[in-house]
Amino acid sequence: MNRILIVEDEDIIRKQIALLLERNNYEVVGASGIDEAVSYYPESFDVILADIRLPGRDGNQILDYAEQVPVIMMTSYASVRSAVESMKLGAADYISKPFDHDELLMTIARSLRENRLSAQNAAMRRDLSRLYPQFEIDSRSMVMQQTINSIKNVGDEDLFVYLQGERGTGRELLARLCHEHSSRNRGPLVFADLPMYQTADIANLLFGSQEEDRPPGTGLLQASHGGTLVVRSIAALAIDKQLELVNRLVEAKNLRRAPDVRLIILAIDSPTAAIKEGLLHPDLAELFGDCVFPSLPLRERREDIAPISAEYLQLYVKRYRKRRIVLSLEAQNALQAYQWPGNINELKSVLERAVLMVDSEEIKPVHLGINVVDGEAAHSGLDLSLDAYFRYFVLNFEDRLSETELASKLGISRKALWERRQKMDLPRKV
């Protein structure tokens, strides 16, 4: 049962309102002034009704104590000025006395509904920040920084965006970033995971049911009206249907009609490669223009491995209520050496498994399960490449071996060691 606090100095009016609300299944508490209302903890109610003109302290002062609770201001001095002032101070709504009972009930119901939606949105945003943490795209890579800045810059220009990269590189986070930095951020953000559906059903998924023997349904394109539609693996949509998508988007934009949608595509191949392979319609590719941005694989942004690992390590330590756990130097070097075919998703899995497996306060390479143990590459299905092994060996032993000794153990000349260091951006630590 929703609880309502009434702040009204006239006893007769306060009791009449209370009686009306109680008859409509509300729990009511009455107060004759601000000080009394504060003693009832205003933030614990679902709605507050407060008269603007109260003895002692102005009724608007209840807003200082209401926190997230919607406040409806009441007054017998109905004027645009008082309404505007109350709304500027944070009031949810405004109603003048004498008011119609049905009007008051509708105003309360509307405030409750809007507050509930606001609370749900806030909870969803908190949940999304947990599922898609910001630190994944707080990149130290110059290329990724350029991508992030470009996405923020085009966000409010309402341009279509093409995000190219391998799975697990953070493309979805970049899509969310683009949506949040646009004027559409209050509209829906809809994801279409096309590979999850049968080929014959994908067109209906996007456009709604188009079959005569089925009732018409709202597709994801229409559901995205006023917001952003993110499509994963556009190649799953038939070429002729891709052209239909283009026509609908262009028509809506030119004629200013629904569905008014911003399109973001997540793909592995570049538009040029996808067109060449017959996976992307050229007219659809033209919609993106220069808004084609890379989401780099983890092996090409190794400077991000350490900070991302540190964040997820602490997250899993808290989740599984472990004591303090750190990565050994060898484990850190192993993470740096590995090729990460699964990118950030694989890194998360590796760290979570290590936290569950380790029986001490230090994670060693053996706990990571990525075939790097004591400086040697294991020979199994996910062996390190030669470059990865070289990187791991150099990082792990350069603090105890000279360049000549490193080259000797690697079976190469000192000059070859220097050249490979330059090529792989591995300067010797000073």
Q: What's the pLDDT tens digit per position in 304-335? A: 999 999 999 999 999 888 888 999 988 998 89
Q: With respect to residue 31, please indicate whether it lies within any of the assigned structural domains.
A: yes
Cα separation, 98 vs 320, whole angstroms: 58
Q: With respect to residue 94, please indicate whether it lies within any of the assigned structural domains.
A: yes
Q: What is the pLDDT of residue 372?
A: 53
Regarding whether 306 and 267 lie in a shared domain, the answer is no
Regarding whether 281 and 142 lie in a shared domain, the answer is yes
Of 367, 266, 348, nearest to 305 by C-alpha is 348
Q: With respect to residue 429, please indicate whether it lies within any of the assigned structural domains.
A: no
* Helix (H) and strand (E) counts in the chain: 19, 14
| Percentage above 70 pLDDT, the chain | 88
Regarding whether 22 and 52 lie in a shared domain, the answer is yes
Q: Which residues of 222-257 are buried (b: 16+ CB within 10 A; e: fewer)?
A: bbbbebbbbbbbbbbbeeeebebbbebbeebeeeee
Instruction: Sort strands 362-363 and 292-295 into parallel, antiparallel or unpaired.
Output: unpaired
- Neighbour count for residue 96 (Cβ, 10 Å): 16
Here the CATH number for the domain that contains residue 38 is 3.40.50.2300
Residue 78 banded pLDDT, cuts 50, 70, 90 = low
The yes-or-no verdict on residue 173 having pLDDT over 70 is yes
Q: With respect to residue 411, please indicate whether it lies within any of the assigned structural domains.
A: no
Q: Is 206 exposed, middle or buried (0-12, 13-18, 19+ CB in 10 A)?
A: buried
CB-based contact 205:233 (threshold 8 Å): no
Regarding whether 369 and 279 lie in a shared domain, the answer is no
Q: What is the pLDDT of residue 380?
A: 35
Name the β-bridge partners of 51: 74
Of 367, 354, 371, nearest to 315 by C-alpha is 354
Regarding whether 304 and 281 lie in a shared domain, the answer is no
Q: Spell out the residues 6+ positions from residue 284 whose beta carbon is closer than 8 angstroms to its own.
A: 234, 242, 243, 245, 246
Q: Which of 296, 324, 356 is the last residue of a domain?
A: 296
Regarding whether 310 and 392 lie in a shared domain, the answer is yes
Q: With respect to residue 132, please indicate whether it lies within any of the assigned structural domains.
A: no
Q: Spell out the residues 6+ positions from residue 149 whose beta carbon is closer than 8 angstroms to its own.
A: none
What's the total number of domains in the chain? 3
What's the whole-number mean pLDDT along residues 177-199?
89
Regarding whether 312 and 270 lie in a shared domain, the answer is no
Q: Which domain holds residue 316?
A: 300-397
Here the CATH number for the domain that contains residue 327 is 1.10.8.60
**The pTM is what?**
0.64
pLDDT tens readout for residues 399-420: 878 888 888 777 788 888 888 8
Regarding whether 98 and 19 lie in a shared domain, the answer is yes
Q: What is the pLDDT of residue 99?
A: 80
Regarding whether 342 and 273 lie in a shared domain, the answer is no
- DSSP run (H or E) holding 88: helix 80-89
The yes-or-no verdict on residue 100 having pLDDT over 60 is yes
Q: Which of 296, 329, 354 is the last residue of a domain?
A: 296
Regarding whether 239 and 190 lie in a shared domain, the answer is yes
Regarding whether 41 and 172 lie in a shared domain, the answer is no
What's the whole-number mean pLDDT along residues 220-237?
92
The yes-or-no verdict on residue 364 having pLDDT over 60 is yes
98 upstream amide cis, omega within 30 of 0: yes
Regarding whether 351 and 251 lie in a shared domain, the answer is no
The yes-or-no verdict on residue 218 having pLDDT over 80 is no
Residue 430 banded pLDDT, cuts 50, 70, 90 = low
Q: With respect to residue 419, please indicate whether it lies within any of the assigned structural domains.
A: no
More confident residue, 141 or 263: 263
Of 258, 262, 150, 267, nearest to 208 by C-alpha is 258
What's the whole-number mean pLDDT along residues 87-102?
84
Q: Which of 296, 323, 342 is the last residue of a domain?
A: 296
